[in-house]
Copies of this chain bind each other. A is one copy, B any other.
Amino acid sequence: MTDPKGDRSLPPHKQPDPDQFMHVVEERKDGIVVRGAKAHQTGAVNSHEIIVMPTISMREEDKDYAISFALPSDAEGITYIMGRQSCDTRKLEGGTMDQGNLLFGGHEALVVFDDVFVPWDRVFMYREYEFSRQLVEQFAAYHRQSYACKVGVGDVMIGAAQTAAEYNGVEKASHIRDKIVEMNHLNETLYCGCIACASEGHKEPSGTYCVNILLANVHKHNVTRFPYEISRLAQDIAGGLMVTLPSEKDLQSPETAKWLKKYFKANPDIPTEHRMHILRLIENLTLGTAATNYLTESMHGAGSPQAQRIMISRRINMQEKQRAAKRLCGIE
Please tell me which one of the listed residues B112, B214, B245, B309 contacts residue A259 in the complex, with CB atoms under 8 A apart: B112
Asked if A328 contacts B7 (CB within 8 A), the reply is no
Of residues 143 through 202 on chain A, the ones whose CB sits less than 8 Å from some CB of chain B are: 155-160, 162-163, 168-170, 173-175, 177-178, 180-181, 184-185, 188-189, 191-193, 195-197, 199-200
Closest chain B CB from A45 CB (angstroms) = 13
Whether a CB of chain B sits under 8 angstroms from the CB of A58 is no
Given A240-B304, A244-B110, A313-B181 in contact, is the A37-B155 Cβ separation under 8 Å?
no
Asked if A83 contacts B266 (CB within 8 A), the reply is no
Whether a CB of chain B sits under 8 angstroms from the CB of A242 is yes
Whether a CB of chain B sits under 8 angstroms from the CB of A123 is no
Further contacts, 6 of them, CB under 8 A, given A39-B241, A158-B321: A160-B325, A184-B316, A196-B199, A236-B299, A281-B325, A284-B329
Q: Which residues of B contact A318 (CB under 8 A)?
A: 158-159, 162
Q: Which residues of B contact A254 (CB under 8 A)?
A: none
Of residues 73 through 129 on chain A, the ones whose CB sits less than 8 Å from some CB of chain B are: 79, 81-87, 89-90, 93, 96-98, 100-104, 108-110, 112
Interface of A is mostly: helix
**Copy count, this protein chain:** 4
The CB with the most chain B CB atoms within 10 A, among A8, A102, A239, A243, is that of: A243
Identify the stretch in A23-31, A46-54, A289-297 within 8 Å (CB) of chain B at 4 or more residues.
A289-297
